[in-house]
Structure formats: structure tokens, C-alpha cells
């Protein structure tokens, strides 16, 4: 089982896809393994797909079973889930509009000749 230091800080969608593919598992096969391990027959490949597309983040119940089935330390998946939740709820990047940064600059010539690296 790899240690948490061996795996990169990824969102859970990216990490699950990498782990599943590196083990040669399809989404359907991963769902089957999770159902067998957990005793919960209702998990489908569609839910695996939602996790891998970042539409949903698996909760603690499924994270613990994913850790067992994918042979990864639980803290690795928990950290990735936290990263995913943070990314989903992070404020959007600021969008700059020229008029807000430098009023009156839009459409005005800033130099008589093209600027070069030397100035």
C-alpha cells in the first residue's frame, strides 16, 4: 500500500480516476468491488462516474471502502475529498475589466512604438 507521501495532492475526481485506471479497473468493476466489500448492493457505475467527473464527492462511508478496495491509505482519499470540497466552494477568480483597472485606458494608444523586452 503506498503511503500518503507517495501520492500527489489531487482532487478526488482526478485521484479516483488515476487509481482506478492504474489498477486496470473499469467504473463498473470498481462499483462491483465496492458493493461486494461494503455489502451495499446499490452503488452503480454511474455514481463512480459522477465522482470521477467531479459532480459529487464521496462521503466518509464510501471513502473508507474506496481506501480498502483501491489499497490506498484512507487519509489520502480524505485529503483529496477535502481539496475537492474546497475547490467547489472557493470564490471564483477575480475577473478584470479594463475600465475597472485603469479608467479611460480602453481604446487609447499606450505607446508610439511596439514595446520590446529591452523597453
pLDDT tens digits, 82-114: 999 888 776 766 766 555 555 555 555 555 666
Alpha-carbon torsion (61, 27, 53, 78), positive or negative: positive
Q: Could you give the CA distance from residue 65 to residue 73 in angstroms, rounded to a whole number?
A: 11
Return the CATH number at 58.
1.10.260.40
Write down the pTM of the prediction: 0.69
SS3 109: coil
Within a domain: residue 112? no
pLDDT tens digits, 4-58: 455 458 899 999 999 999 999 999 999 999 999 999 999 999 999 999 999 999 9
Within a domain: residue 93? no
Within a domain: residue 42? yes
Within a domain: residue 69? yes
Torsion of CA 106, 112, 115, 119, to 10 degrees: -120
Amino acid at each position: 500500500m503506498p503511503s500518503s507521501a507517495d501520492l500527489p495532492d489531487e482532487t478526488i475526481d482526478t485521484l479516483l480516476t488515476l487509481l482506478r485506471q492504474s489498477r486496470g479497473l473499469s467504473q463498473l468493476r470498481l462499483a462491483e468491488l465496492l458493493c461486494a466489500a461494503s455489502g451495499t448492493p446499490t452503488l452503480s457505475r454511474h455514481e463512480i462516474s459522477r465522482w470521477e467527473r467531479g459532480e459529487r464527492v464521496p462521503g466518509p462511508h464510501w471513502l473508507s471502502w474506496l481506501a480498502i478496495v483501491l489499497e490506498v491509505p484512507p487519509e489520502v482519499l480524505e485529503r483529496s475529498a477535502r481539496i475537492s470540497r474546497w475547490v467547489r466552494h472557493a470564490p471564483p477568480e477575480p475577473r478584470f475589466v479594463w475600465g475597472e483597472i485603469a479608467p479611460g485606458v480602453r481604446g487609447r494608444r499606450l505607446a508610439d512604438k511596439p514595446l520590446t523586452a529591452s523597453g
